Amino acid sequence: LNTPYKEGYTFAGWYTNSELTGDSVNAITTTDTGEKSFWAKWTANPYSATVDPNLDTSKGTVTVANSDGESGISAKVGDTMNLTAKPEEGYAFDSWTVTDVNGNPIEVSDNRFTMPAANVIVSATFSPIDYTATAKNEEGAKGNVTTEKTEGLHVGETATFAVKPETGYKVT
């Protein structure tokens, strides 16, 4: 009997029953007569979904899990894989990049993808959140407050404020 091929699976033998039990059949002899039915037994190949080791974890982290919520396990072709992005303070999640070992993109929808018949690498893009610093001069104040950079500030950057009291007043 020929050995068939099925993407993402290893052929595990021909069987004479749909339950795939008993001994597998390797050949049909010349003494076998009549109509015969055979069922192919397949074993799913294990594949991995790995977070890109070059991901800048100072901006955020990524987890990949199967539909049962298990991470760090092997997956098989057709499994639904769930993606979670956790941005660090001052960053926002932008997008996913999932590619197979040959660099082919894998479609991601609603933070999920279907496992192909290949190992995959998962990465995420995180962008800094823009903050605005506002210097507000209250009505009746005896002086004013200014700042040089007011927009596009990011976590870790410094906003410098200048306080200038009117003549005869001081900042306390």
pLDDT of residue 55: 94
pLDDT of residue 41: 96
| CA dist., res. 25 & res. 32, Å (int) | 12
Phi-psi region of 146 (alpha: psi -120 to 50; beta: other; left: phi over 0): beta
| CA dist., res. 160 & res. 149, Å (int) | 8
pTM: 0.74
- CB of 74 closer than 8 Å to CB of 112: no
pLDDT of residue 32: 83
Distance, C-alpha 79 to centroid of its chain: 14
Burial group, residue 75, by CB count within 10 angstroms (0-12, 13-18, 19+): buried
Segments of the chain scoring below 70 in pLDDT: none
- HEC string of 106-150? CCCECCEEECCCCCEEEEEEEEECCECCCCCCCCCCCEEEEECCC
